[in-house]
Structure 1
Amino acid sequence: MTDFAKTRAFFDLPEGIIYLDGNSLGPLPSAVPVRLDHVMRLEWGEMVITGWNRAGWIDMPRRVGDRIARLIGAAPGTVVVGDTLSIKVYQALASALDLRPDRRKIVSDSGNFPTDLYMAEGLIRSLDRGHELSLSAPENLEAAIDEDTAALLVTEVDYRTGRRHDMARLIAKAHQKGALVIWDLAHSAGAFPVDVSGLGADFAVGCTYKYLNAGPGAPAFIYVAPELADRVTPALSGWMGHEAPFAFDLDYRAGHGIDRMRVGTPPILQIAALDAALDVWDEVDLADVRAQSVALSERFIAGVEAACPDLTLASPRDPARRGSQVAFRFEHGYAAMQAMIARGVIGDFRAPDIMRFGITPLYVGADEIDRAVGILAEIMATRAWDEPAYHRREAVT
């Protein structure tokens, strides 16, 4: 049984803050500054360039990838860390299209995160082979998969509402039609149990700065199914994906297995922060995290609906159909969220009218949920959100 009092102590949370935005950026684990200080002073500082060998920097993308693999139901040696999520989406999608050369359709849904769609559009333009991005409403995604589908590109959890796709059904349908699946785990990894291997995903990608708490700009990860890993042709053939990077050959030869999905020089400080942040998962059962997340989410929804009649639930009511966040719609949602932040409750806002609240049991408990509901109720009852300062838009919402 997971001890959530123990996991809460793992984080360096600001005094007096109720943090309900871990679905956007996880808080600082207290182990991270210690690890970074060690890497900077004792490794980079004393070893300088010899740290690539002596401190094992060169192997960190695979070693840390294996730690993430355990959280997403992947076998060791099938996940590698590095670059950004946008890059990893591009790599996975380009590989999938190359493996299905006679098909021209990329299927996704209108609830997908825009970056995934932007990367697909850019890839289509650069390939110039007649591919098309076919978007459907989220509820119609399964029906949109057909015999011309090369790849299904789907983010499991909607970044706005928390609506959760049925990945088992979608993967089964895609494979029945001969398509490959790219599963975006940005709002899944670390939020609830994931089984990319058991469900037969072909590719999976995700970021590490949300539920994995690795910090702003933390590197992304990519999974490739073992049966595909030596068949994919890297679209981004960077030197770290080469079979022998330090042979400095003028011609590219793809590395073996997941190593060919490496691109450029790994960001060692960022990966070290991720490695330290992952230590909390040594103490955690993801099934317990999911059960507690559902309980806290239900508590939050019940409290808000009882106290704030002007807010409308945007997330699915069935907890099995949503991830680890709750969203409410309110015409003045941006201003209301700024009022909450001013009172020490940090969530965030997504246009046009969605107030988002991440429910992350590693550091949020029932007391925080109840206090957040009370503060939101006071803001709505007094119209405190209507102060001009709360309506002024910042660059990041």
Structure 2
Amino acid sequence: MTDPTLLDADDPLARHRDLFVGAETPLVYFDGNSLGRPLRRTGPALAAFVEEHWGGRLIRGWDEGWFDLPLTLGDRIGRVVLGAGAGQVAVGDSTTVLLYKLVRAAVAARPGRREIVIDRDSFPTDRYVVQGVAAECGLDVRWIEVDTAAGVTAGQVRGAVGEQTAAVVLSHVAYRSAWIADAAAITAIAHDAGALVVWDLSHSAGSVPVRLDDWGADLAVGCTYKYLNGGPGAPAFAYVAERHLDTVAQPIQGWMGHADPFLMGPDWTPAPGVRRILSGTPPVVGMLPLTLMLDLVEEVGIEAVRAKSQRLTAYAAEVAAELLEPLGVVNGSPRDPDRLGGHVTLLHPRMREVTAALWQRDVIPDYRDPGGLRVGLSPLSTSFTEVRRGLEATREVLVVLR
């Protein structure tokens, strides 16, 4: 078994771990794929914002950058982690709200078509939104049945889409198994059927390189509190491909998406470009932690982040095979490193109890039914030694529970 201290010594990104709050403590954090650690800079930066920008500039801040922040920050996210050219990404609202907007927009762009395609193991919000939109619009949901230890394949999508498909809604990285879908191939298959694709990038952005423009993607959404460390409730982002910008019709028509927000006129006229996706006043304070993390990701480079992520997940699988498989634990994630995102799911009938016991020991994974303990490994804040200690603790708890 590889010595984790040697892996840490050989890790070119190890020095960045000390930039995060709590990295110096003995706590083992396996939940960076649900909520990333804050940067140490975040607290002082928020305090300075309150004193200098909010407290000092007050409402003048809107004219001095806040008004355009959803778009300027969107351009940075697009450039740094999404493979998206300028003018196609906006920040604001929650992932669920933006997903609703984009699914409705996709359906509206394909009038007369009767189906929305989604896989049965998509994250609950995605399934619930699709079901809600289908009910609102009188459409049917066509379900793809998937292997929960893997994810949706191009062949499955090809078998599900057809002349009645309005939209395909899928996750790039599966929340349960971390399966990476073949986004370029799936997008092309949907387009051949005349449908639009809405990609959920929540488990990709900041961990797995995304190439929205190269994929020929139509629409995408994602959160910023996982690998982008924006903090609890940090605003999400929406991507609309340039070719759709002048025609996309979003259903929540708010004043910030108006062509002239301060006209205060009687009717809603959509703003040109991606601004039309906005609805209400943007969460300016909530965007600040995200800007700081983007600085770091841009400095390091998303390819280097991905390389570290692959080393971490491979090491976690290696340690789990040594320590946990003899106790009946099964690796519930893809073994192909090119198909695996930033976490590993370990399966055992008693993992719910294991997770609760680990939390009491300051080892923090999360649990997903049925019987899945997710080992989420945020590349810039997780060490190899941390991985080993956390999985050793998992073994100790399992031995006691047997």
TM-score, length of structure 1 as denominator length: 0.93
Aligned mate of 2:223, from 201, 207, 214: 207
Residues paired across the two proteins, number: 381
1:266 equivalent in alignment to 2:282: yes
Q: Pick from 5, 29, 41: which aligns with 2:14?
A: 5
- Contact 1:154-1:183 within 8 A present in 2 as well: yes
* 1:104-253 → structure 2 map (5 Å cutoff): 104-127=114-137, 130-138=138-146, 139=152, 140-253=156-269
Residue of structure 2 equivalent to 1:18: 28
Conserved in 1, the CA contact under 8 Å of 2:116 and 2:134?
no
Deviation at 1:194, TM superposition (A): 0.5
Q: Counterpart of 1:107 in 2: which secondary structure?
A: strand
Structure 1 CA distance, aligned partners of 2:213 and 2:12?
A: 28
Distance, in Å, in 1 between the alignment partners of 2:68 and 2:12 is: 32
Letter matched to residue 332 of structure 2: A
Q: 1:338 aligns with which of 356, 361, 368?
A: 356
Contact residue 31 and residue 277 of structure 1 kept, 8 A = no
Moved more, 83-92 or 160-169: 160-169
CA distance in 2, matches of 1:368, 1:160: 22
CA distance in 2: counterparts of 1:382 and 1:364, whole angstroms: 27
Moved more, 245-254 or 269-278: 269-278
Q: Which amino acid aligns with 2:74?
A: G
Deviation of the 1:44 alpha carbon = 1.3
Once the two structures are TM-superposed, the CA of residue 353 in structure 1 deviates from its matched residue by 1.1
Report whether the alignment pairs 1:373 with 2:391. Answer: yes
Taking a change above 3 Å as real, the CA distance of residues 236 and 10 of structure 1, as seen in their structure-2 partners, is same
Letter in 2 for 1:170: I
1:349 aligns to 2:367 (yes or no): yes
Task: Give the TM-score of the pair, scaled to structure 2.
Answer: 0.91
Equivalent in the alignment of 2:272: 256
Q: CA deviation at 1:357?
A: 0.8
Aligned-pair distance for 1:89? Answer: 0.7
Question: How much does 1:352 deviate?
Answer: 2.5
Separation in 2, partners of 1:6, 1:279: 16
Q: Assess if the C-alpha contact under 8 Å between 1:204 and 1:223 holds in 2.
A: yes
Q: Secondary structure at the match of 1:36?
A: helix
Deviation at 1:2, TM superposition (A): 8.8
Question: For structure 1, which runs of at least 5 residues remain unmatched after alignment?
Answer: 387-397
CA distance in structure 2 between the partners assigned to 1:185 and 1:194 by the alignment: 8
1:192-237 CA distance string (max 9 Å, x none): 1100000000001000001100000000000000010111112111
Asked whether the 8 Å contact 2:309–2:379 carries over to 1, the reply is yes
Kept after mapping to 2: 8 A contact 1:64/1:80: yes
Alpha-carbon distance between aligned partners in 2 of 1:158 and 1:142, rounded to the nearest angstrom: 19
Q: Which residue among 63, 71, 74 is the counterpart of 1:62?
A: 71
Identity of aligned residues (%): 38
SS in 2 for 1:339: helix
1:281-292 residue pairs with structure 2 within 5 A?
A: 281-292=297-308
CA contact (8 A) 1:72 1:195 kept: yes
Contact 2:95 2:236 in 1 (8 A): yes
Structure 2: unaligned runs, 5 residues or longer: 1-9, 147-151
> Is the contact made by 2:91 and 2:238 (CA closer than 8 Å) also made in structure 1?
yes
Cα deviation 1:2-33 (Å, max 9, x = unaligned): 94123212211251112110110111111211
- Is the Cα contact below 8 Å between 2:157 and 2:189 reproduced in 1? no
Q: Which residue of 2 aligns with 1:393?
A: none
Spell out structure 1 runs of 4+ moving beyond 3 A. none
Task: Calculate the aligned-residue CA RMSD, in Å.
Answer: 1.6
Aligned-partner Cα distance in 1 for 2:183–2:341 = 13
CA distance in 1, matches of 2:179, 2:61: 44
Q: Could you tell me whether the CA contact under 8 Å between 1:2 and 1:283 is conserved in 2?
A: no
Structure 1 counterpart of 2:294: 278
C-alpha deviations, 1:110-164, integer Å up to 9, x for none? 111111121122222223xx31111111343332111211111001111112122
